Amino acid sequence: MSPTRLGQNQYGKAETRVVHVTREGRTHHVRDLNVSVALSGAMDEVHYSGSNANVLPTDTTKNTVFAFAKQYGIDSAEQFGIRLARHFVTSQDAIERARIRIEEYAWDRITDEHSFVRGGRETRTAEVAYDGTHWQVVSGLKDLVVMNSTDSEFWGFVKDPYTTLPETRDRVLATEVAARWRFGWTREEDPAPRWEESYAEVRRHLLEAFAGTYSLSLQQTLYAMGERVVEHRPEIDEVRLSLPNKHHFLVDLEPFGLVNDTPDSAVYFAADRPYGLIEGTVLREGAEPRIPVTD
């Protein structure tokens, strides 16, 4: 008898870039997605003996992404992921679970017709999992860079022999928001959320909470952002946030005979690393955490 056994496993095609252009005469609409498919189920034999009898080729999953974009269009990242996950689980007996991860890239119009420029916005994300009975949909965004040039303090923290950071009653607070939020919707027979509306509203609440919180710590700001989403969006049970602290340090200008940080202006050095990384989850009361801390 072998001293080993197979554990959790999955396979699929990662990062299929699909750009769908909808044409309404000379007016075009673009959806630009990066789709990753992961499938799992009765896959023991392909690992133990190399038998591919239950294996749907990853090339087929790639082709399915393109074909479904053409056949059904892309109403939203979430709905497209749901359609793909349902197809893989219900069309193949050996596949018991499908996970679809999607990043969406924004394009802004140059003209009213068919010229676009890549938006300098965040990247939208979506992850859909389906086991044949229940759904789990986790939407999100990343690379959303925000900054408050004031209304942030940091003081009263623990000090030990290695502490050199001075306390401050006024600082720049900047971060690059990565957020994921899990929907309470899990059953096909229940009405699904309005994905596009939900994304826009969650993004709005994240930004408004960041801007509207007088911050004594980035942790406080993180909780305020997640709390606002859960309180205002009943379809969402869990929000996980990762907020790197994009440190801005006042530049010492005294060698040049200049006084920095005057009432009318200040000059900062924006350091990219190392950086503080603040992460946390905000849950609806009674909900269990299900978004993984790491992939």
- CA–CA distance, 107 with 109 (Å, rounded to integer): 7
Exactly one of 13, 62, 205, 248 is catalytic; name it: 13
Report which of 110, 33, 20, 29 is spatially closest to residue 72, judged by C-alpha positions.
20
Q: At what angle do helices 77-91 and 195-212 cross, to 10 degrees?
A: 130
Radius of gyration (C-alpha) of the chain in whole angstroms:
23
Exactly one of 62, 246, 247, 248 is catalytic; name it: 247
Please give the DSSP secondary-structure letter assigned to residue 154: B
- CA–CA distance, 191 with 203 (Å, rounded to integer): 22
Instruction: Tell me the backbone φ, ψ of residue 81, rounded to 5 degrees.
Output: -65, -40
Exactly one of 20, 28, 58, 186 is catalytic; name it: 58
Instruction: Tell me the backbone φ, ψ of residue 39, rounded to 5 degrees.
Output: -120, 145
58 is catalytic: yes
Q: How far is CA 123 from the centre of its chain?
A: 7
247 is catalytic: yes
Would you name the residues annotated as active-site residues? 13, 58, 247
